[in-house]
Amino acid sequence: MKYTHLGKTGLSVSKLCLGTMNFGPQTNEAESFQIMDHAHSVGINFFDTANGYGGPGNFGGTETIIGNWFATGGGRREKTVIATKVYGSASEWPNDGKLSALNIRKACDASLKRMKTDYIDIYQMHHVDRRTPWDEIWEAMEVLRNQGKIIYVGSSNFAGWHIAQAQEAARRRNFLGLASEQSHYHLLERTVELEVLPASQFYGLGVIPWSPLAGGLLGGIIKKLESGDVGRSKASHANKQLEKIRPQIQAWEDFCAKRDEDPADTALAWLLHNPAVTAPIIGPRTFAQLDGSLRALDIELDGEAMKELDLLFPGPGGTAPEAYAW
């Protein structure tokens, strides 16, 4: 496994982050335990979750599974950099969601209880809250940090100017501010290259791409459909998604086949070639998928390969404002 620092911090995290969104809705507790144990066995120390994960009617269910795994001992908690999120509504009551100081306090305590831990390594805002002042948010985070309940703060799904707002407000308070930004980023969705990535690099944030395989579209979906390696319901959904971009995805799979590389691993490798990226989030459902992802750490894409991919999956044209104004 390869490790890197999370942005400008001294925190060392694996170059692949284990996503746990499927734990509960698609993967039962026993299988989730096995995947987390296997992640540790191959050196992955960075896990991502959220207080809202767990599936319909099971708010916090994923954190509960992680907490039960931590409780089995063996240094599992100590070896894990755990990142969770706050924002989602735990109920229909008005103060049970978003980023008020009240909800940040309540949600953090609830996450700590579910995960059976005294502290959260990275406490991420799952979405920007435009109605709550930054001074209120940062004061709440400062209290949690002073209490030893959180160590770092991160964001998720922020625009570049939200990152700037957050960091400048934190700077006024002499607070570290954001350590990371978790963004929707893959070959088919490159909007963050305009402003989010430059803002993250300027302020020293680590970038953690979610859905790096575009919901499976970049994971060899055409070959899987042709071989019947996709369930009937998923095949129907995949075909609908492919309808408009099948030629592009076919060209992608041909690109990978020429290099004798798996499309999923190559998509992760493309992200890892960007110096702004800390660790893509992988969501394996089997040991084989997890082990396959490790190959991404060793795939080399030279300048010609990167140019070919830029032609196949055009980005926004560079960083802002040059991308749209000389």
For residue 233, what pLDDT is reported? Answer: 59
Among 53, 87, 123, 152, the one annotated catalytic = 53
What span, in angstroms and rounded, lies between the C-alpha atoms of 148 and 150? 6
Of the candidate CATH numbers 3.20.20.210, 3.40.50.1820, 3.20.20.100, 3.40.50.720, the domain formed by 3-215+263-309 belongs to 3.20.20.100
Burial of 74 (0-12, 13-18, 19+ CB in 10 A): exposed
Enter the tokens of residue 201.
């690099």
DSSP state of 186: B
The verdict on whether 119 is a catalytic residue reads no
For residue 235, what pLDDT is reported? Answer: 72
What span, in angstroms and rounded, lies between the C-alpha atoms of 325 and 232? 47
pLDDT digits (tens, 9 = 90+) for 145-158: 999 999 999 999 99
The β-bridge relationship of strands 120-125 and 150-156 is: parallel
User: Would you list the domain boundaries of the chain?
Assistant: 3-215+263-309
- Cα–Cα distances (Å) from 89 to 54, 137, 254, 293, in that order, read 13, 17, 43, 33
For residue 153, what pLDDT is reported? Answer: 99
For residue 326, what pLDDT is reported? Answer: 85
For residue 257, what pLDDT is reported? Answer: 98
Which long-range CB contacts under 8 A does 129-133 form with residues at least 24 apart? 129/87, 129/98, 129/99, 129/100, 131/98, 132/98, 132/99, 132/100
Burial of 321 (0-12, 13-18, 19+ CB in 10 A): exposed
- Mean pLDDT across 116-141: 98
Closest of 175, 177, 174, 101 to residue 137, by C-alpha: 101
pTM of the model: 0.96
- Mean pLDDT across 185-203: 98
Residue bearing the bigger pLDDT, 16 or 236: 16
For residue 323, what pLDDT is reported? Answer: 94
Closest of 86, 312, 319, 90 to residue 195, by C-alpha: 319
User: Is 90 exceeded by the pLDDT of residue 229?
Assistant: no
Whose structure tokens read 């390594």?
Answer: 121
pLDDT digits (tens, 9 = 90+) for 265-321: 999 999 999 999 999 999 998 888 899 999 999 999 999 999 999 999 999 999 999
Q: Estimate to the nearest angstrom the gap between the alpha carbon of 167 and the chain centroid.
A: 20
Reported as type and span, the H/E element at residue 3 is strand 3-5
Query: Strand pairing partners for 86?
Result: 125
pLDDT digits (tens, 9 = 90+) for 77-128: 999 999 999 999 999 999 999 999 999 999 999 999 999 999 999 999 999 9
